[in-house]
């Protein structure tokens, strides 16, 4: 229990540092709606994608969305399916798009009953002996995330997408061709590196079913 408390404290510290994006930008959701029209093909007109490999953007925090779009545009987060989609977009354009999707309501998801127990354990308690912090510390017990700190909401997100990102972060721990845009503190790479395939599948399924 003491180790869990320590990991929770560390995670809270990480949350306070958060992910950084271009400062001083205020998004205009009305302007963002027009900008986001092209996004509908993959992410849905309201940000609720129906294809599990494409993330739901609806209801996601503006700070997180803005940073991810900036990273994708600038090459810090390579996403083959997004190649060229954000080219030529200014930081203000991206802030407007982020504001639009943040105002939308995310649809729910479901947890596989067979993965419920393991997923809940990983999400709420972590795995202290492997330096896996509890997901709830940064992403909240309800999966709502921490919008001011820039930590994404996970509730209702496609389990397949969450799992794919955890696998990419796990690869990024040792190989820069994986996902590495979690910053210098490597919060997600460290967490994902300690998870087995089964644990990734379980915690992703659990998060998807949160409300």
Taking 60 as the threshold, does the pLDDT of residue 186 lie above it?
yes
What is the arithmetic mean of pLDDT over 43-55? 97
**Nearest 5°: phi and psi at 114?**
-70, -20
Residue 145 and residue 140: Cα distance in Å, rounded?
5
The larger pLDDT score, comparing residue 13 to residue 174, is at: 174
Q: Which of 38, 44, 41, 48 is nearest to 85 (CA)?
A: 38
Identify the pLDDT of residue 4: 44
Q: Is 98 helix (H, G, I), strand (E, B) or coil?
A: helix
**Nearest 5°: phi and psi at 132?**
-95, 110
Using 50, 70 and 90 to split pLDDT, how confident is the model at 98?
A: very high
| 33, two tokens | 């709606």
% of the chain exceeding 90 in pLDDT: 88
Q: For the residues of 22-33, what is the DSSP string, one character each?
A: -TT----HHHHH
Separation in Å, CA 15 to CA 24, 72, 118, 135, 182: 20, 22, 24, 11, 12
| 39, two tokens | 């996004």
Instruction: Give the CA angle between residues 124, 126, 169 to the nearest 5°.
Output: 115
Q: Are the CB atoms for 86 and 69 separated by under 8 Å?
A: yes
Taking 70 as the threshold, does the pLDDT of residue 96 lie above it?
yes
Identify the pLDDT of residue 23: 58
Q: Quick count: other Cβ atoms within 10 Å of Cβ 178? A: 15
What is the arithmetic mean of pLDDT over 120-127? 98
Which domains are present in the chain?
A: 2-17+108-208 (1.10.760.10), 29-102 (1.10.760.10)
Identify the pLDDT of residue 2: 45
pTM of the model: 0.89
Residue 115 and residue 113: Cα distance in Å, rounded?
5
Identify the pLDDT of residue 25: 84
pLDDT digits (tens, 9 = 90+) for 133-162: 999 999 999 999 999 999 999 999 999 999
């Amino acid at each position: 229990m003491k180790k869990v408390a320590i990991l929770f404290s560390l995670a809270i510290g990480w949350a306070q540092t958060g992910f950084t994006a271009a400062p001083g930008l205020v998004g205009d959701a009305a302007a963002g709606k027009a900008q986001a029209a092209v996004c509908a093909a993959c992410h849905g007109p309201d940000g609720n994608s129906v294809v599990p490999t494409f993330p739901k953007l609806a209801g996601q925090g503006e700070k997180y969305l803005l940073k991810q779009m900036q990273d994708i545009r600038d090459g810090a987060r390579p996403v083959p399916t997004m190649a060229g989609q954000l080219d030529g977009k200014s930081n203000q354009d991206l802030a407007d798009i982020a504001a639009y999707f943040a105002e939308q309501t995310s649809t729910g998801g479901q947890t596989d009953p067979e993965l419920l127990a393991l997923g809940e354990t990983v999400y709420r308690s972590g795995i202290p002996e492997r330096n896996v912090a509890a997901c709830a510390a940064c992403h909240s017990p309800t999966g709502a995330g921490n919008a001011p700190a820039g930590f994404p909401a996970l509730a209702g997100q496609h389990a397949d997408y969450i799992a794919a990102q955890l696998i990419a972060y796990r690869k990024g721990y040792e190989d820069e061709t994986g996902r590495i845009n979690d910053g210098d503190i490597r919060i997600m790479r460290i967490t994902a590196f300690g998870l087995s395939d089964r644990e990734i599948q379980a915690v992703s399924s659990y998060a998807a079913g949160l409300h």
